[in-house]
Amino acid sequence: MLGGAGAIVRYGPPSVGDDGEDDAADDDGEEREWPMEVETVAARGSEDGTLTVPSEDVMVLMFFVNGCGNCQVQAGRLADARAQLADDHGEDVSFLSLTYDSEEGFPPEELREWWETHGGNGYVSYDASEPMREYSAVGYPVTIVIDPDGEEHWRETGTTDGSRIASEVEAVLAARADADDGDDGEESDGDDTEEAGANESSDGDAADDDATEPDADGEPEADGEPEADGESEADGESEADGESEADDQAVSEDEADGGSSAPATDDSD
């Protein structure tokens, strides 16, 4: 199990407080702030201010004490890793070194001198206790790489080459880039599906438009069929003409018969 995940189980998962900040419960059940906030000290690569752990960047944490020889070496190697990542990922990565020393026992001016003497370059802070508990950092120097969600991806106790640290950071950045590309692909597939549905609906509307439209009276036109009234009128005219011709012929025959008949002669005279 990753160290970051183990710490969440140990101290309880983050929860949202009344002020909207994420809080997590410690061993005594008390609420503590999440993400954690540490105060940083003015030094090379650092400034007086505050920094959240985790932050919006991939983060490299180093826990150290000033009297540790390996810590002195590791301070310079973190600076080497930072320089290797600066051109391609300078805005995506932050480096934070946290000392177990107290401010009273190791004043800021001494910390700044120590930091520059051993090649340190990056944020530096006295607030090591909460991050140390969260990530169960035991010993020194301990170097840990976490993502913006606070999940631990790699750790090393002792000295480590700057190139190895840079490689571990790049692996986390690449994994996050792949995850973002996958999310974009899913959104694109959803858009294509909606567009296909819209095209099908448009095709259906076009097919409806091609159907036979009713005439002005609201009834479809009947192509090629004669009107019934036309046939009836034609039949009526034909019958009337036939009857008139028959009557004329009968009159002509009657007239012909009358003209050829002689009147009867009275033989009694």
Smallest CA-to-CA distance from 143 within 38, 37, 135 is with: 135
Which tens digits make up the pLDDT trace of 140-162?
A: 999 999 999 999 999 999 999 99
Chain mean pLDDT for the chain: 76
Is 156:61 a contact under the CB 8 Å cutoff? no
Quote the pTM value. 0.61
Q: How confident is the model at residue 251 (pLDDT cuts 50, 70, 90)?
A: very low
Q: What is the mean pLDDT of residues 121-147?
A: 97
What are the residue boundaries of the structural domains of the chain, listed by start?
38-179
Determine if residue 7 is left, alpha or beta; phi over 0 gives left, psi from -120 to 50 gives alpha, anything else beta.
Answer: alpha
DSSP code string of 71-106: HHHHHHHHHHHHHHHHHHHTTTEEEEEEESS-TTTS
DSSP H or E run through 187: helix 162-209
Q: Any idea which architecture 38-179 has in CATH?
A: 3-Layer(aba) Sandwich (3.40)
Measured between alpha carbons, how far apart are the two ends of the chain, in Å?
164
Which tens digits make up the pLDDT trace of 161-185?
A: 999 999 999 999 999 999 877 766 6
Tokens of 175: 């994994």
Q: What is the mean pLDDT of residues 24-47?
A: 82
